Structure 1
């Protein structure tokens, strides 16, 4: 019997959608169709690929009115913020389309008489995109559009929590008249996903998710010489120096900690503040946090929606309780948020002080609306604490000293260094992580390197 997946909405705990997983025959048909379509697609001029991909972006944006409430029902983001994901989707897609010509142009070494030498960028074949639920359009588009632009076919396996997003991608491609089989959305369970990876029928896998799931992906791919891009967990730190613009730092770090209910790989999860400004920073931070409105994400007044599942909220509640039991102080009263009901997916934001690195909340990814804040006495102490983590996705420095930020950035073990901003992906810059935050690159022109292979031409035309 074919397995089914039920999408349980965090809004009210009811089944929002139910679909059948692809069976063995459907998977085989999809893999064969992808290979056939890609063989023709790679021969199309880049300008034609760009026209198709641009049309797909237009088609997706035309569905905004349906997509925004769907996002709220599927993963809990308030509708007032839903359109923001589509703006980011468009920014990344348009940028990657725009740089494709330069990124994919053949490299030519210094000329030698009688020879033509080039390094061309060849598509890999079929790219499997395994996308997460927390930013379901943004994370998927990082690979889908550049993979198609590079001449690959794409199979999308979206998270079961956002299975309708995969269907939206498929509809956008259909409306753009993409060649049949070139892009396919498959609803796969874990076993089938592993089988597709191990089949040898895909040449690149780009996965966004947990560290443990990333290890499973790597094991499945290990014997097949596949390309594997992994964006895994984060425990992203921020350092607020004494010379920071305090108002700007507080406003942006509160947002960086609690936007999307903290459910972001690059959310700010721990903050280190110079002792000189620590008391005022904490007071302002807590006061601004208390202004969130926790509630139904379909309500325009809501600024903080539920976590994706009651289980996710339970984990964060347990982290908070453990930290308090170990000596931390919680600055936010959950009872001030009527929607915060123990056992539900609705969880008030929390700010913890008197925290240490012996506490889970300062070590393990929370993926929820909680942040710990510690005072520091020097740049060196801040660097040591920021680097005291198994993760390294992004880190932010809040200062008015550009030279200091660059110097500190060189010492921080992370994929991206921000100054006076956080929780943002610039499509012109490589998105990458170190340590347990993953490997590989998406976005920027370097993102195309992971979606193509080098092919050298050494042609002697004078004998």
Structure 2
């Protein structure tokens, strides 16, 4: 078993950070602290818990000037975008704001004289968050804050690619004065993580990552009866209709496909365009894509940094090469320094003459590569959007809201967007279907996933 985890920066291949893996004794001690702290934390009022969360946000904000370049060094996102502080604050603040109402006991729908009957929402206990590197603060906060607000304690295991994020969270909670043991950050390898899940000492795990990772989580947790939340792969489609506002659609979908070098859970990976506006859309999309500046993410001029790891970029190169062999046309062919096999630097690419026999239209690439297909009508577009093992989001581009809803009702996905994409609204539940996983995050429904129901049937008249 390796003694340390090394964080290799995609900027230059250097070791940016190295941390010791927690000893098994330290892991067990952390779980015991979490269990011991949980009872007292559950007795803390929701209002008081909320004050700790808001204080934690203030602490994170105070570190943002350091966090932004850290993100660039760890996973490659350009510093010009300013990190994730705004989104973290929006999501966390909303979940704090709705906690009192969302966690209220639910009275029985049919009152009966002489009885008091209701369902309380109890904390799950010890919640483990296994967070990914692509949006290292935003994805983690989706579970950390509502789990703590619901009265559970939290153990965070962050991705090796973003080791420092867990430390930032731990420091922010320490600055907020959070009671000891309520939140803890651990550096673990895969074997330790699986062992901990199999131990029965964790009550709920939330994992964001690959489909393979999700299967490993379920296998490790088998027989423990813990609850599990999984946000896994995506192959999110867009459908552009003839009545679209073209300039808005082009700019939004280019950003949705290529922001964060395409490393977005709900990023656009395939686009279906009605034949009436196909040529105009493709022309505008290609022109907008050519405006990207690929390079060192610490340079303010850079609008697209490297992918987090070279192997991720190589997967994108393989999908592009396969599509070209099968007859696709590449339109951008941007000259990017160090864009060679084995390098994380890669330019954005737009493919046409694609079909669903090509992996680029059905298999996740999680990178800056998008295929655009011409369709004749809604029926063809819907069939193609549903021809995927994934279902996180789908976006529809039209000026007719009722038409968008009618199409959305027939698309197998967790979220339907109209005239926007690649966005998460904390007031709406974040969920998926098929191989995208199971469970629900954010909104009042997210609290239901982080609590257990307990019924009270009280006879007051005898």
- TM (norm. structure 1) is 0.99
Partner residue, 1:33: 33
Quick one: structure 1 residues 354 and 171, their matched pair in 2 at CA, closer, same or farther if it must change by over 3 Å? same
Q: Name the SS for the 2:457 alignment partner.
A: strand
Partner residue, 1:166: 166
Partner residue, 1:138: 138
Q: Find the aligned partners of 2:8 and 2:245 in 1 and give their Cα distance.
A: 42
Partner residue, 2:416: 417
Q: Find the aligned partners of 1:202 and 1:340 in 2 and give their Cα distance.
A: 43
Give 1:340 deviation, angstroms: 2.9
Matched, 1:99 2:95: no
Q: Find the aligned partners of 1:209 and 1:358 in 2 and give their Cα distance.
A: 25
Give CA deviations for 1:213-258 in whole Å, capped at 9, x if unaligned: 1000001112100100000000000000000001000000000000
Q: Name the SS for the 1:327 alignment partner.
A: coil
Give 1:134 deviation, angstroms: 0.2
Partner residue, 1:392: 391
Partner residue, 2:88: 89
Tell me if structure 2 keeps the 8 A contact 1:150–1:452.
yes
Q: Name the SS for the 1:136 alignment partner.
A: coil
Tell me if structure 2 keeps the 8 A contact 1:131–1:156.
yes
Q: Find the aligned partners of 2:66 and 2:325 in 1 and give their Cα distance.
A: 45
Partner residue, 1:308: 308
Q: Find the aligned partners of 2:216 and 2:337 in 1 and give their Cα distance.
A: 40
Question: Aligned runs of 1:259-338 on 2, under 5 Å?
Answer: 259-335=259-335, 337-338=336-337
Question: Aligned runs of 1:334-413 on 2, under 5 Å?
Answer: 334-335=334-335, 337-413=336-412
Give CA deviations for 1:353-399 in whole Å, capped at 9, x if unaligned: 00010001111100000000000000010000000000000000000
Question: Aligned runs of 1:46-195 on 2, under 5 Å?
Answer: 46-83=46-83, 85-109=84-108, 110-195=110-195
Matched, 1:9 2:30: no
Partner residue, 2:208: 208
Tell me if structure 2 keeps the 8 A contact 1:198–1:221.
yes
Give 1:122 deviation, angstroms: 0.4
Deviates more, 1:44-53 or 1:148-157: 44-53
The alignment of Structure 1 onto Structure 2 pairs a total of residues equal to: 461
Give CA deviations for 1:133-164 in whole Å, capped at 9, x if unaligned: 00000000000000000000000000000010
Structure 1 unpaired stretches of 5+: none
Tell me if structure 2 keeps the 8 A contact 1:294–1:339.
no
Q: Find the aligned partners of 1:56 and 1:95 in 2 and give their Cα distance.
A: 14
Tell me if structure 1 keeps the 8 A contact 2:337–2:345.
no
Question: Aligned runs of 1:234-273 on 2, under 5 Å?
Answer: 234-273=234-273
Deviates more, 1:54-63 or 1:146-155: 54-63
Tell me if structure 2 keeps the 8 A contact 1:22–1:187.
yes
Q: Find the aligned partners of 1:414 and 1:112 in 2 and give their Cα distance.
A: 40
Q: Find the aligned partners of 2:166 and 2:337 in 1 and give their Cα distance.
A: 34
Provide runs of 4+ in structure 1 moved above 3 Å. Answer: none
Tell me if structure 1 keeps the 8 A contact 2:60–2:172.
yes
Partner residue, 2:429: 430
Structure 2 unpaired stretches of 5+: none
Give 1:334 deviation, angstroms: 2.7
Tell me if structure 1 keeps the 8 A contact 2:290–2:334.
no
Q: Find the aligned partners of 2:120 and 2:341 in 1 and give their Cα distance.
A: 57
Q: Name the SS for the 1:16 alignment partner.
A: strand
Give 1:265 deviation, angstroms: 1.4
Give 1:2 deviation, angstroms: 6.0
Give 1:339 deviation, angstroms: 5.0
Give 1:298 deviation, angstroms: 0.3
